[in-house]
Structure 1
Amino acid sequence: MNSHAAALVTFPELRRLVDLRDAGWQFLPAVVDGRVVEVHGVRTWPGGWADAIRVRYVTDVAAIRCDFEGGVSWKRDGGLVEVVDELIALPAPGDRLAPVLVVARAPSPWAF
Structure 2
Amino acid sequence: MRLYPELQCLIDMVDSGWEFVHRISETFCLVRLDAACYWPTCVDGLKVFDRYNAVAVRWAWDGHELWRSEGSLADVVEGLLSLPAG
TM-score by structure 1 length?
A: 0.71
Which stretches of structure 1, 4 residues or more, deviate above 4 A after TM superposition? none
1:89-108 equivalent positions in 2, closer than 5 A:
89-93=82-86
Deviation at 1:23, TM superposition (A): 1.5
What is the root-mean-square deviation in Å for CA atoms of aligned residues? 1.1
Could you give the per-residue CA deviations for residues 79-108 of structure 1, whole angstroms, max 9, x where no partner exists?
111111111110112xxxxxxxxxxxxxxx
Question: Larger helix proportion, structure 1 or 2?
Answer: 1
Residue matched to 1:35: 29
Gaps of 5+ in 2: none
Residue matched to 1:44: 38
Residue matched to 2:72: 79
TM-score by structure 2 length?
A: 0.92
2:51 pairs with 47, 58, 66, which one? Answer: 58
Identical residues among aligned pairs (%): 31
The size of the alignment, in residue pairs, is 85
2:17 pairs with 15, 24, 44, which one? Answer: 24
Question: Larger strand proportion, structure 1 or 2?
Answer: 2
